[in-house]
Amino acid sequence: MNTMEAQNKKTNILVLIHSDNGGTYELAQEIAKGIESDPNSKAVIKLVKESTNSKLKDLPVATVDELTSYDGIAFGSPVYFGNISTAMSEFLSKTVNLWSNHALEGMPATVFMSAGSGAGKELALQSFWNSLAVHGMVLVPNGIRGDEKIDKKVPQGNSVLGTTSLASLKDVKRPTESERYLAALQGKNFAKVASALKGTFSKKEISVKEEPSINTILKSKNIVLPQVPKPAGNYQPYVRTGNLVFINQVALKDGKILNPGKLGVNVDENQVKEATELTMLNVISVLNEAVDGDLNRVKRCVQLTGIFNTKDDYTKHADLMNIASNLTVEIFGEKGKHARATFGASSIPVNSSVEIQAVFEVEQ
Ligand SMILES: Cc1cc2nc3c(=O)[nH]c(=O)nc-3n(C[C@H](O)[C@H](O)[C@H](O)COP(=O)(O)O)c2cc1C
């Protein structure tokens, strides 16, 4: 048997998680260890969405398409208000196409969660089960497996539906040794069930069209957002009111104005275009801060206003502003299309050749 055949013979299990602070990831590692304690099973841990957390940022991100290719999925998430986390819920909401094609029916699933105090943890595990039951997945509980060996002197996250960790109880290091032990046992048992069910359900390839994340688009276009410029007066880099974010920027780079001056006097059109691109990147960098680093929460660019330091008889402001407009559409696609105003001014603060005012609509 060659390596490829050996891989295909193995029971391949996805450990699919969302984690904010790493607690769920720690449990996921124990689940994976338990799975791989069976030499014929292989575990891969993936995130439902990219993370900037240093513990998580190098983990691969799963696509909805790939779910049907596994022999079983162990789902992990933080407890959010007695429920699964928003990111896990968003990921599952993208599986409608798999659902209507019966694509996950008969595939085994198991769940684990990182909680704070543990308030509502069983409700949260149950809500995980609800979503997976709708898919017709075969839910594998823990029962009281391993309970006789856990340390009862401190509260533990044991639950019949799946392992949890009570991460905010700092009486001992969390996940506790017992919580880790239960997670590993859960993984081991899950591998046993997944191996037994391997080949009993069809692995349909269902293509689901997923929009690439804004961070992926930025990376693929080699666009690096500049540092958020510091305000030069008594104002905020942005103001959010309701769902709207208001931002104004000039061509500031590392504390200095790029290509300062008046078009046709000390700068030419190409230099103003370069300054316009930088100014728009400054705007997007501030916007990134306004949405806590998740530019996918931008619903649309509503309006851009470009002000250029030009002579009285200059008329081609639209060409200059297209640089900012094109960049916005390049990054945000349809959501980047906006209303626009451009005009010339006899001077602009700090001698910038351009100023951009922007209004974006963002998610709640
Ligand atoms: C919006 C939100 C709601 C939460 N709700 C609960 C809850 O109902 N019960 C609980 O025990 N912990 C709750 N927590 C705490 C998290 O479940 C806890 O911090 C968890 O360990 C985070 O997992 P992570 O380290 O993988 O990000 C909540 C946290 C957030 C951010």
Give the residue-averaged pLDDT of 20-44: 97
Nearest one of 179, 159, 175 to 167, comparing CA atoms: 175
Asked if pLDDT for residue 1 goes beyond 60, the answer is no
Atom number, ligand 1, closest to the C-alpha of residue 165: 21
Q: What is the pLDDT of residues 207-235, one digit of tens each?
A: 776 777 898 899 889 999 998 888 878 99
- Is the CB of 22 within 6 Å of ligand 1? yes
- Is the CB of 76 within 6 Å of ligand 1? no
Ligand 1 pocket: which of 81, 90, 112, 169 to mutate (most atoms within 8 A of CB): 81
Ligand 1 pocket: which of 79, 169, 176 to mutate (most atoms within 8 A of CB): 79
- Is the CB of 276 within 6 Å of ligand 1? no
Alpha carbon distance 286, 237 (integer Å):
7
Confidence of residue 276 (pLDDT cuts 50, 70, 90): very high
Give the residue-averaged pLDDT of 3-32: 90
Confidence of residue 300 (pLDDT cuts 50, 70, 90): very high
Note the pLDDT of residue 6: 58
- Is the CB of 79 within 6 Å of ligand 1? yes
Could you give phi then psi for residue 362, rounded to 5 degrees?
A: -125, 165
Asked if pLDDT for residue 125 goes beyond 80, the answer is yes
Give the residue-averaged pLDDT of 76-96: 96
Distance 78 CA to ligand 1 centre (A): 5
With 0.85 as the threshold, say if the pTM is over it: no
Alpha carbon distance 248, 238 (integer Å):
7
Note the pLDDT of residue 233: 86
Give the residue-averaged pLDDT of 269-285: 97
- Are 29 and 15 in contact by the 8 Å Cβ rule? The answer is no
Identify the CATH number of the domain defined by range 217-362: 3.30.1330.40
Alpha carbon distance 220, 213 (integer Å):
11
Ligand 1 pocket: which of 49, 80, 111 to mutate (most atoms within 8 A of CB): 80
Instruction: Enter the DSSP assignment of 345.
Output: E
- Is the CB of 86 within 6 Å of ligand 1? no
Residues with Cβ within 8 Å of residue 63, at least 6 apart in sequence: 208, 210
DSSP string covering 198-212:
TTSS---------PP
- Is the CB of 20 within 6 Å of ligand 1? yes
Note the pLDDT of residue 2: 60
Note the pLDDT of residue 205: 82
Give the residue-averaged pLDDT of 191-201: 96
Nearest one of 75, 201, 181, 57 to 128, comparing CA atoms: 75
Note the pLDDT of residue 7: 59
Instruction: Specify the residue with its C-alpha closest to ligand 1, atom 22.
Output: 78
Confidence of residue 47 (pLDDT cuts 50, 70, 90): very high
- Is the CB of 23 within 6 Å of ligand 1? yes
Asked if pLDDT for residue 121 goes beyond 70, the answer is yes
Give the residue-averaged pLDDT of 174-192: 98
- The residues that bridge with 342 in the sheet, in sequence order, are 306
Q: What is the pLDDT of residues 242-254, one digit of tens each?
A: 999 999 999 999 8
Give the residue-averaged pLDDT of 77-82: 98
Give the residue-averaged pLDDT of 110-133: 98
Instruction: Specify the residue with its C-alpha closest to ligand 1, atom 19.
Output: 116
- Is the CB of 175 within 6 Å of ligand 1? no
Share of the chain above pLDDT 70, in %: 97
Instruction: Specify the residue with its C-alpha closest to ligand 1, atom 4.
Output: 80
Average pLDDT of the chain, as a whole number: 94
One-letter amino acid for residue 294 of the chain: D
- Are 250 and 258 in contact by the 8 Å Cβ rule? The answer is no
Give the residue-averaged pLDDT of 108-127: 98
Q: What is the pLDDT of residues 315-359, one digit of tens each?
A: 999 999 999 999 999 999 999 999 999 999 999 999 999 999 999
Q: Find out if CATH 3.40.50.360 is the number for domain 3-210.
A: yes
- Is the CB of 82 within 6 Å of ligand 1? yes
Note the pLDDT of residue 229: 82
Asked if pLDDT for residue 5 goes beyond 70, the answer is no
Distance 115 CA to ligand 1 centre (A): 5
- Is the CB of 120 within 6 Å of ligand 1? yes
Domain residue extents for the chain: 3-210, 217-362
Alpha carbon distance 332, 213 (integer Å):
9
Give the residue-averaged pLDDT of 34-58: 95
Instruction: Specify the residue with its C-alpha closest to ligand 1, atom 27.
Output: 20
Distance 237 CA to ligand 1 centre (A): 31
Distance 215 CA to ligand 1 centre (A): 25
- Is the CB of 41 within 6 Å of ligand 1? no
